[in-house]
Structure formats: structure tokens, C-alpha cells
Amino acid sequence: MKKLMAAVCLPALVLIFMAYACSNEQAEKPQVSDNPFKGQNLLTQAELDKFIIDYPAYVRWAISKGESEPSEQEIESFIQSLNWQVIRFSYVMNQVMVGSMAVRMKDQIPQAKKQIAELQAERDRYLTQETASEEQKKDIAAQFNELIESKQDMLRQIEELPAEELALIKGSMDRLATALASGMPEIADSPESFFTENGTAPGGLKP
């Protein structure tokens, strides 16, 4: 399972970085963007249908690379061979992942926010411990903040997902579940695990 996830997640991360690069290259002046998908058109039903077919192919290709991490050029070439622009495929993938979590977690958002608050409180309690050195506090605070920020970012994306896109994703959940299970089985089967299983303090700390 770890090999499968690594094979899929590494190319996915490179896709996001490439999306940032594409968004900056298209700008009139070089700049650092905090949203690589700014200006992208809303997801369409035709794109969603195509993604459901092409995403499993992308996953199979990523897994076929074995232990080697595909280069940006290899990823770009493969995505283009599926008749996608890299930034558009990245956008659709991101919206589908976020939308799937939004559908499955619609009644669990308050609990997810509570878990984030608990992590923040746990971090603050740890930082007040006199037995921990300043270096230890700095390292643990960084781990807490990374975990907290990842959850906050996912919640933000869920809450900001356009209603039109959410409706399309919700209407295609059965087919999407099958497609996503080919590469992200944990998220496809139980997206709420992003907040429950990963909701513990770094290193299992219990201040």
C-alpha cells in the first residue's frame, strides 16, 4: 500500500508544483501565486466524464514507474498524451478530491473544526512545558503547525468549492469512487480519515 500511495502521490505533488509554474508563466509579470488555479474555468460535466476515464490510466502509469520518481517532463508528456493541459488536469484532480471529501464529510465539518482547535490547544500546552528545551519546542511546534495548516487548507477548499462543481461531483460520486479507488483508496473509502486518523499530535505526544 505504501508503494502504491508513493507512486501516485509523488506525481500528484509534482503536478501541483507544475501548476504553480504554469500560472506564473502565464502572468504578465513574474510573481509568486498562492493559488495556482486562479482564473481557471469551472469544472464541466464533459471534463468530469473524461477525468473518470483518464485518472485510472494516470495512476497505472505512475505505478508502472516503480520506485523511480517521474520527472516533470515525463508527467507533462503523459498528461498531454491523454489530451489534457497539465494545469487543467491538475485543477480537475484537485476539485474532484476536494469535492469528494465535501460530499462524504458534509455532516462532519463541525467535528473537523473541533479537532483542529484541539490540536492548536495541545500545541500550546506543549509549548508551556518547562521540561522541554527551546529546540524541542521549536521542532514540535513546526510539526503541529504543518498538521494544523494542512487540515485548515483542506477545510478552506471544501468551504470555497463552487456550488456548481459540487453538484457535478455529487451527481457522479458512484463513478468517481471507482476511479479514485484506483489511486487514493484511503480517501475514496473514508475521506474523513484525513481528520480522524491524522488528527493526533506529532509523534503521538500527549502533553
pLDDT, tens only, 85-108: 999 999 999 999 899 988 988 778
Rounded distance between C-alpha atoms, residue 147 and residue 128, angstroms: 19
What are the cell numbers at 33?
A: 501565486
List C-alpha distances in Å: 125 to 12, 111, 128, 141, 198.
35, 21, 5, 11, 19
pLDDT in tens, 10-34: 445 445 444 444 444 444 443 334 5
- Write b or e for each residue in 130-150: b if 16 or more Cβ atoms lie within 10 A of its Cβ, otherwise e: eeeeeeeeeebeeebeebbee
Rounded distance between C-alpha atoms, residue 12 and residue 8, angstroms: 6
Closest listed residue to residue 127, CA positions, set 111, 141, 117, 114: 141
Mean pLDDT of the chain: 77
Rounded distance between C-alpha atoms, residue 190 and residue 55, angstroms: 19
pLDDT in tens, 152-170: 988 998 999 999 999 999 9
pLDDT surpassing 60 at residue 8: no
Closest listed residue to residue 201, CA positions, set 130, 126, 131: 126
